[in-house]
Amino acid sequence: MEEKEKILAGELYDANYNEFLANERLKAKQLCYEYNKIEPKNIEKRIEILKTLLGKTKNKFLIEQPFICDYGYNIEIGENFYSNHNLIILDANKVKIGDNVFIGPNCGIYTSGHPINVEQRNKGLEYAKPIEIGNNVWLGGNVVILPGVKIGNNTVIGAGSIVVKDIPSNVVAVGNPCRPIKNIN
């Protein structure tokens, strides 16, 4: 099984010494570099690069600079998507983001993680699990979403939260670890 197949299967894989994965990351890093150097007023060029970089987009979206991702092609964003500055998406596995999602500054969406076992970790092995964010979601500033998490529709994640497990639809959730504190009607 190739390393890319292992990633999508949620198995341990070697990201550090695999030439194919290293080249794929380098392509994405180059596009991120170009994107982050474009004048902010040149929205058309910014959108063009994002459409080249990201796996799937709809028509109306914007990611404020700077933006960093690992591969890009594993990221799918919905209609009317907006992210403030300093979004980092480690997209070794799939990241699916719904329509009408707003992300505050300095947020991180991380599909990748490292084994607790020191021998595996020291070999450069890691794992990646998909992340899914529903429709009509708002992530406050400095939110971190960890591997394998699903966030339901119509949900608000409070600033500074660390999301380590699934969050249902129609709630306000906050904290470390993030947990629902209020239903939204």
Of the CA atoms within 13 Å of residue 47, those in its CB half-sphere come to 12
Residue of 4, 25, 27, 114 with catalytic role: 114
CB within 8 A of 111, min separation 6: which ones?
74, 90, 91, 92, 93, 94, 95, 128, 129, 130, 131, 147, 148
As given in the structure block, the two tokens for residue 104 are 């505050």
Active site includes 85? no
Residues assigned a catalytic role:
114
